[in-house]
Amino acid sequence: MDYSLITHQIEDEFLSPYATKARNSKGRLSPITPCPIRTDFQRDRDRILHCKAFRRLKHKTQVFLSPEGDHYRTRLTHTLEVSQIARSIARALRMNEDLTEAIALGHDLGHTPYGHAGERALNSFTHFRHNEQSLRIVDKLEYSGKGMNLCFEVRDGILNHPSDCKSSTNEGVIVSWSDRIAYINHDIDDAITGKIIKREDIPKVFLNNVGLSHGERINNMILDIINHSFGKQEISPSEEFIEYINGLRTFLFENVYFKSRAKTEESKAVDMIKYLFEYYYRNKDLLPKSLLDMDSSLEQKVCDHIASMSDRYAVMVYQNITIPKNWGI
C-alpha cells in the first residue's frame, strides 16, 4: 500500500490554496523511485536530518566565539529554533509544514567555522556566501560527492533564505522570516546571558510593543505574521512589525555584533581561516580526494574543505600545521 497517498489527500483537503503541495513539486535533478510511506518533502527533511553537514552544526559558532558555558546558541540550536518558529507559522497558515521544516533544517548547512567571520574570510579570496554553499552541499558535496538530490522547492528555499533574497514558495518565505525572528531574539538572549547588554538597554519602543521577555517577543512576532498573512497570497509581518524587526536588528549590530567584547577574538578567527585557505591552496594534494576529483576551481575546492570544518576541527588543523610537535620523548 502506498501510504504517502494518504498524506497527499490530506494536503489536498486541508492545505491553503497558496501552499506548496508535495504532489505538485517541480521534482528532483534526478528522478527516484517514490517512497511508499513519505512524500518527497518528507524524504528531503529526513535526508537533511541524517547528513553529516547537519551533525557538524553542533560545533559551529552562531554569534559568540568559543563561549564559556553550555547555554549559548550554536548553529545547530539556531537551526532547531528556526524550524520550530517556521513550523508554527506554517501550521497556522495551513502551509506545507514538511516543506517548511526541510528548508529550515537545511538553510545553514553551508556556514563556515566561526560563523559570519569565517564567511568574510573566505569571501576575501573568492566569491563565498553561506546560502550558496548550503545549496552546494546538498547538490554536490554530501553523500560522498553525489549530492542529496533534493526537490526544487527545498533547494530554492535553502538558497533564498537570506533577507536580500526571495523564495519562490510561501514556505521558503516563512523560513526567511523565521530565521530573522530566531536570531534577533536568541542573540539578544545570549548577549544578556553573557552580560554584553542588559535588558533595560533594549529601547523601550521594542519592550513596550514587541514584548518584555524573550518568549513574549517571539510569540508576538509569530502572531503578527499569522494575523497579517492569514488567507493572503503573500506572507509577511505587518509594516509596524517589519520596523520593529529591523530596529532590533540594528540595535544588535550597534551593541552586540560590532565593537562588543564578545567579538574581540573574531579577528583571530578570520586570520586563522585565511591562513588555512592559503595553506591548502599551496598544498592542494592535502585536500580530500573526493574534492580533488571534482570538476571545480582550486579556490572552490579549498572553500569546500574549510567551510565543512567545525570550529574545533579548524583549530586542531591549524595547531597541527603551525605548532611544533614534541620529539624524542
To the nearest whole percent, how much of the chain has pLDDT over 90? 89
Query: What does pLDDT average to over the chain?
Result: 95
Scanning the structure block, which residue is given the C-alpha cell 547537519? 54
In this prediction the pTM is 0.96
The pLDDT assigned to 103 comes to 98
In tens, the pLDDT along 240-262 reads 999 999 999 999 999 999 867 76
Cα–Cα dist 300/125, whole Å: 10
Percent of the chain with pLDDT over 70: 98
Three-state DSSP class for residue 179: helix
Mean predicted confidence (pLDDT) in 46-53: 98
Give the contacts of 25 (CB within 8 A, at least 6 positions apart). Answer: 40, 41, 151, 152, 153
Indicate the CATH number of 37-176+263-322 among 1.10.3210.10, 1.10.630.10, 1.10.1040.10, 1.10.3720.10. 1.10.3210.10
CA proximity to 87, closest of 238, 225, 237, 189: 225
Q: Phi first, then psi: give them for residue 74, nearest 5 degrees.
A: -115, 175
> Nearest 5°: phi and psi at 288?
-55, 145
Core vs surface per residue 300-315: b (16+ CB within 10 A) or e: bbbbbbbbbbbbeebb
Of 315, 296, 265, give the one whose Cα is nearest residue 133: 296
Name the DSSP letter for residue 146. T
Task: Say whether pLDDT at 64 is over 80.
Answer: no
Tracing cell 489536498 back to the chain, one arrives at 12
Range in 46-50, 208-212, 323-327 with the lowest mean pLDDT: 323-327
* Residue 329 pLDDT exceeds 90: no
Q: What is the DSSP letter of 126?
A: S
Q: What DSSP string describes 274-322?
A: HHHHHHHHH-GGGS-HHHHTSSS-HHHHHHHHHHT--HHHHHHHHHHHH
* Mean pLDDT along residues 146-166: 97
Other C-beta atoms closer than 10 Å to the C-beta of 203 total: 12
Query: Stretch 122-149: mean pLDDT, rounded?
Result: 96
Residue ranges in the chain assigned as alpha helix (H): 4-14, 40-49, 52-56, 75-93, 97-106, 115-123, 130-136, 142-145, 152-159, 170-193, 204-209, 214-229, 239-252, 266-282, 289-292, 298-307, 311-322
pLDDT grade for 328, boundaries at 50, 70 and 90 = low
Distance, CA of 139 to CA of 149 (rounded, Å): 6
Is the confidence at residue 110, as pLDDT, over 60? yes
Rounded mean pLDDT, 219-245: 98
User: What grid cell was written down for 215?
Assistant: 518568549
Output the pLDDT for position 218: 98
Taking residue 137's Cβ as centre, other Cβ atoms within 10 Å add up to 24
In angstroms, what CA-CA distances link 258 with 38, 263, 266? 45, 7, 10
pLDDT at 160 > cutoff 60: yes
Q: Are 206 and 200 in contact (CB under 8 A)?
A: no
- pLDDT at position 327, please? 72
Please give the pLDDT value at position 176: 98
Mean pLDDT of 182-186: 98
CA distances from 297 to 17, 100, 168 (A): 44, 33, 30
Distance CA 113, CA 318 (A): 12
The domains of the chain are located at 37-176+263-322
Q: What DSSP string runs through 219-252?
A: HHHHHHHHHHHTT-SS----HHHHHHHHHHHHHH
Of 290, 45, 285, the residue nearest 144 (C-alpha): 290
As a whole number, mean pLDDT of residues 131-144 equals 96
User: Residues, the chain, total?
Assistant: 329
